[in-house]
């Protein structure tokens, strides 16, 4: 029961942080949604990192490492260690500068202004908002499931999901971006500190990690876990493009606008890879170690190996504190809820004259009402579709590819004067079509999906190896769909832009001013 | 830095990420770290160094003018 008590104390602390942040005031939309563009370097780094450090990433990577071995670190972590901060350097800093200069609070506002078109912004709003929804639902589902597991069923899934949703809703409602940023900072520090302590304690309890790995290496069934034998090279290569999604997630791009100064990006960009190392190396490593401790778990069931190791080998108090940290990761839906609320308020309410007619205070309360509505809807969906978590899991995976394929659009807007709204629209429709197409192919080929360890199966035998079905994915010539999606998007924005009329000289001059003397 | 140099850097980092030479090598470094994992730990540190050099030598100077 101690771990459960620690988790409840943690939830109380989180609520306090939200209320504390609220006391600092949120009289304008900019203050509520962007913390007044005033976050310092410390909160900016840890909160941005915490926003990306979701249960999907942490527990999912341990579970995947349990099944597929150490290659998972390369798939999910070392690629992100370069790509995410690189996109922060290239894209995040420029978004910040444009946001400060022109008052943008969302990606859509930037796109509308840059390409002089309300319509393209609306299409992007619909696509990016829809791809964010499953993320929010899965956060509530994860909260319910984790709280039920940590209390050994004392708190049922429905109540657990409700408690998590209520806590998240409260601090987002009262604290806005400032509260969310501080909670994420707390979460990251908690996870880094107690993750390290738990890693050491588990190692001691096992008699040293070396002995466990020797044992794994000596068994033919588990020796491949110490190599990348279970990760096909083309899949490994494809994964390098997935982290392009990070900067295109609305909650990350909006977060980039919260920095007080551009200088604050510097520490984040350089330290981000090291934070990834500190979190993901133990997560993947423990996933592999768990294969020696709890053999025979199926995919999905292996997602809780981190919790199993903790329960079996860590001190009960440390286990509880790390359980709270895991809860914090599960509760990462806070940023997405706030982002969706910001988008609704800025891209619809404000865009269609709401602020002008009703004023800034009503704008903030509209955002807050939206937070309540979205959270309640997410909880209802999480309860109603309790046993269909796989659908949302899948939707999140497709959303990663979808957001990654929108990155060429952002690069074109920021760096290519000649890019046009028609090029942007073509790329956006391509992304929407390919996300839906991949989903359809995945569903249509479910019946022929091979068992783990078996060779991929052609989905349409007449097309040879073009479209293959693996146990968990649909591939295109062996590559994940994200590869053709990203290159198709880049090609479309380039070709269609060249064929259509560029934005006015005035707009181009605003975004690409001539260098001073 | 010009756009093509960023592309070149991105391509180089992709290439370094594909350590085919350790693909099926299960040796342990220092008795605890599989060599493929050790390589990617090194890659992560290299990423921090490369990004540090970018920040130091190629920081966009016009950002703070906003």
Residues in chain B within 8 Å Cβ distance of A78: 17, 40-41, 43-44, 47
**What's the pLDDT score for residue B14?**
95
Residue whose pair of structure tokens reads 């309640």 in the numeric block: A376
Q: How many Cβ pairs within 8 Å bridge chains A and B?
A: 128
pLDDT score at A15: 84
pLDDT of residue A367: 85
Both ends of chain B: CA-CA distance in Å? 21
**What are A321's two structure tokens?**
């504190």
Which residues of B are less than 8 Å from A271 in CB distance? 48
- Greatest alpha-carbon pair distance for chain B in Å reads 52
Using an 8 Å Cβ cutoff, are A54 and A393 in contact? no
Task: Outline where A232-299 has alpha helix (H).
Answer: 233-238, 244-248, 250-255, 264-293
Reported as a single tens digit per residue, the pLDDT across A292-304 is 999 888 877 787 7
Q: Which residue of A has its CA nearest to B58?
A: A89
Put simply, the answer to whether A229 touches B36 (Cβ < 8 Å) is no
ipTM of the shown complex: 0.96
Which residues in chain B have their CB less than 8 angstroms from residue A100's CB?
A: 66
Q: What is the pLDDT of residue A115?
A: 95
- Mind telling me how many Å the CA of B40 is from chain A's nearest CA? 6
Cβ of B66 under 8 Å from any chain A Cβ? yes
Q: Which residues of chain B have a CB within 8 Å of the CB of A281? A: 37, 41
Contact A86 B3 (CB under 8 A): no
Low-confidence ranges of chain A (pLDDT < 70): 1, 3, 21-27, 55-56, 316-319, 322, 325-326, 328-331, 389-393, 516-517
Percent of all residues in chain A with a pLDDT value above 70, rounded to a whole number: 92
- The secondary structure of A291-307, three-state, reads HHHCCCCCCCHHHHHHH
Q: Are A86 and B51 in contact (CB under 8 A)?
A: yes
Helix (H) or strand (E) segment spanning residue A457:
strand A457-458
Distance from chain centroid for Cα A350: 26
Of A81, A93, A277, the CB nearest to B63: A93
The answer, for B57 touching chain A at a CB cutoff of 8 Å, is: no
- Backbone angles phi and psi of A457, in degrees to 5: -115, 135
- Judged by CB atoms closer than 8 Å, whether chains meet at B51 and A269 is answered as yes
Q: Cβ of B5 under 8 Å from any chain A Cβ?
A: no
Cα–Cα distance between A399 and A381 in angstroms, integer? Answer: 18
Strand partners, A476: A467, A479
Judge whether A206 is closer than 8 Å to chain B, CB to CB.
no
The two structure tokens encoding residue A187? 């979460």
pLDDT at A151: 77
CB contact under 8 A, B45 and A237: no
Q: Find out whether A143 and A134 touch, Cβ atoms under 8 Å.
A: no
Residues 6+ apart with CB under 8 A from A252: A48, A51, A52, A246
- Taking the Cβ of residue B15 and every Cβ of chain A, the question of whether any pair is shorter than 8 Å is answered with no
- Closest CB to A227 among B23, B45, B55: B23
Identify which of A77, A89, A98 has the shortest CB distance to residue B55.
A89
Residues A100, A106, A108, A109, CA torsion sign: negative
Does B37 contact A70 at a Cβ distance shorter than 8 Å?
yes
């Amino acid at each position: 029961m101690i771990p459960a008590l620690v988790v409840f104390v943690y939830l109380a602390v989180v609520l306090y942080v939200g209320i504390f942040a609220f006391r600092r005031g949120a009289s304008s939309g900019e203050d509520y949604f962007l913390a007044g563009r005033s976050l310092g370097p410390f909160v900016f780094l840890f909160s941005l990192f915490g926003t990306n450090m979701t249960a999907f990433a942490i527990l999912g990577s341990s579970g995947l490492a349990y099944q597929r071995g150490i290659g998972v670190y390369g798939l999910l972590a070392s690629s992100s260690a370069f790509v995410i901060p690189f996109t922060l350097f290239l894209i995040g800093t420029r978004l910040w500068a444009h946001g400060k200069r022109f008052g943008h609070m969302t990606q859509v506002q930037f796109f509308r202004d840059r390409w002089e078109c309300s319509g393209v912004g609306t299409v992007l709003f619909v696509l990016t908002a829809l791809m964010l929804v499953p993320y929010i639902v899965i956060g509530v589902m994860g909260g319910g499931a984790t709280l039920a597991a940590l209390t050994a069923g004392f708190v049922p899934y429905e109540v657990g999901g409700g408690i998590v949703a209520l806590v998240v809703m409260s601090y987002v409602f009262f604290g806005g971006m400032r509260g969310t940023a501080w909670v994420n900072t707390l979460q990251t520090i908690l996870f880094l500190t107690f993750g390290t302590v738990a890693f050491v304690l588990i190692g001691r309890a096992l008699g040293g990690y070396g002995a466990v790995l020797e044992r794994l290496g000596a068994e033919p069934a588990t020796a491949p876990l110490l190599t990348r034998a279970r990760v096909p090279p083309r899949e490994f290569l494809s994964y390098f493009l997935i982290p392009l999604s990070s900067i295109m997630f609305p909650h990350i791009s909006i977060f980039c606008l919260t920095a007080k100064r551009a200088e604050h990006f510097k520490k984040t960009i350089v330290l981000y890879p090291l934070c990834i190392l500190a979190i993901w190396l133990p997560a993947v490593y423990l996933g592999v170690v768990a294969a020696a401790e709890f053999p025979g778990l199926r995919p999905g069931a292996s997602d809780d190996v981190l919790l199993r190791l903790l329960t079996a080998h860590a001190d009960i108090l440390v286990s509880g504190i790390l359980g709270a940290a895991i809860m914090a990761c599960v509760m990462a839906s806070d940023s997405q809820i706030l982002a969706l609320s910001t988008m609704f308020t800025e891209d619809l309410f404000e865009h269609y004259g709401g602020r002008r007619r009703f004023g800034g205070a009503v704008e903030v309360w509209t955002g807050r009402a939206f937070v309540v509505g979205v959270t309640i809807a997410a909880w209802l969906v999480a309860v109603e579709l309790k046993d269909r978590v796989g659908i949302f899991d899948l939707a999140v995976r497709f959303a990663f590819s979808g957001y990654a394929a929108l990155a060429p659009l952002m690069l074109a807007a920021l760096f290519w004067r000649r890019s046009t709204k028609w090029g942007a629209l073509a790329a956006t429709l391509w992304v929407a079509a390919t996300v839906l197409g991949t989903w359809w192919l995945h569903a249509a080929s479910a019946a022929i999906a091979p068992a783990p360890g078996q060779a991929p199966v052609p989905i349409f035998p007449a097309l040879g190896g073009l479209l293959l079905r693996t146990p968990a994915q649909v591939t295109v010539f062996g590559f994940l769909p994200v590869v053709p999606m990203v290159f198709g998007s880049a090609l479309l924005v380039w070709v269609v832009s060249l064929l259509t009329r560029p934005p006015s000289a005035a707009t181009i001059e605003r975004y690409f001013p001539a260098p001073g003397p | 830095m010009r756009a093509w140099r960023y592309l070149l850097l991105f391509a180089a980092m992709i290439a370094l990420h594909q350590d085919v030479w350790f693909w099926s090598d299960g040796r342990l470094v220092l008795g605890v770290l599989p060599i493929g994992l050790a390589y990617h730990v090194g890659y992560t540190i290299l990423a921090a160094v490369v990004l540090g050099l970018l920040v130091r030598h190629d920081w966009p100077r016009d950002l703070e003018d906003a």
